[in-house]
Amino acid sequence: MQKPLTCVEICAGAGGQALGLAMAGFVHVALVEYEMDYCNTLNQNRPEWNVICTDVREFDGKPYKGVDLLAGGVPCPPFSIAGKQLGKDDERDLFPEALRLIKEIEPRAIMLENVRGFLDRGFTEYRQYILKSIEKLGYDTQIKLLNASDFGVPQLRPRVVIVGIRKEENKYFMYPEGNLQMAPTVGNALYDLMAENKWKGAKKWAQNANKIAPTLVGGSKKHGGPDLGPVRARNAWAELGVDGRGVANMAPEPDFKGMPRLTSRMLARIQGFPDTWTFGKKKTAACRMIGNAFPPPVAKAVGEKIKECLENECADCERTISLSRKIV
């Protein structure tokens, strides 16, 4: 019987990536997160996890040298189109810390995710630097844009995922293949939650909410509240019959008229979290945690492919030149 694969995760957030990797078979030996609300959410949902509530800049990776996987979702605001896109000049850019920890821990594999903006032309030089730095540390490195809707998540949520496998593993990683037909519509995903207070209009609403959701927006600690984002995002939600100006405390009452607002539980389901995953009682904090999360089904799919490589199931795959050498 093979030993379970171990994982250290940085910038763990509310646990979207961690949950997905756990479902893929990884055992977390440490999860590093800075914000207390996020740490409390991790501890509440998985008391057995070793949650280290500290700034990743102060985290010493050396005691974890040799784990199977180093994973993380380094802060996205430096590259997000919703922000100023300062990239490496943004104080929140933690890619340098990820590189430091790769060097200290020397994991067999790495998995780092970020927003689509990381692929923008303006970040080409910095992106090349990051990928080449990882390769110099001994990894065959690939980068790909994955859409959450291709993995059963009822939301248009593109995320960049970097995967590196140590060269001495002598294996080639292949990203999971998604299937857009797997994603339910917003109406199908949320009908039971909309109808839980016996709202008479729930069935008709679900029929009209016949598309996947726009990308959920979490916002930063300084900006963003319990709503569904700026005007453009709210307009997209309105097309699905959802009032995006706020977040509801409960599902609509039986005689409710008009466009309903989503509850935090509905938002979490759209992000791919199971209904059993809780986010505390603070509505604004819950919306931020959910909106900034990496959908667990996507993390699970990527994690399973990494696990295949590390457990020799892809050892006979043909090696090819890594994408980090191709991107210019």
Strands of the sheet containing 109-115, edge to edge, are: 51-53, 26-33, 5-10, 69-72, 109-115, 158-166, 139-147
Q: Is 52 helix (H, G, I), strand (E, B) or coil?
A: strand
Q: Which residues of 240-258 are buried (b: 16+ CB within 10 A; e: fewer)?
A: bbbbbeebbeebbeeebee
State which amino acid sits at residue 145. Answer: L
Q: CA 261, 263, 269: angle at the middle one, nearest 5?
A: 115
Distance from C-alpha of 37 to C-alpha of 18, rounded to nearest angstrom: 16
Size of the chain in residues: 328
Catalytic residue among 7, 76, 287, 309: 76
Q: Between β-strands 109-115 and 158-166, what pairing exists: parallel, antiparallel or unpaired?
A: antiparallel
Distance from C-alpha of 102 to C-alpha of 106, rounded to nearest angstrom: 5
Q: Is 76 part of the annotated catalytic residue set?
A: yes
Structure tokens at 104: 């200290």
C-beta of residue 159 within 8 angstroms of C-beta of residue 146: yes
C-beta of residue 275 within 8 angstroms of C-beta of residue 264: no
Which residues are catalytically annotated? 76
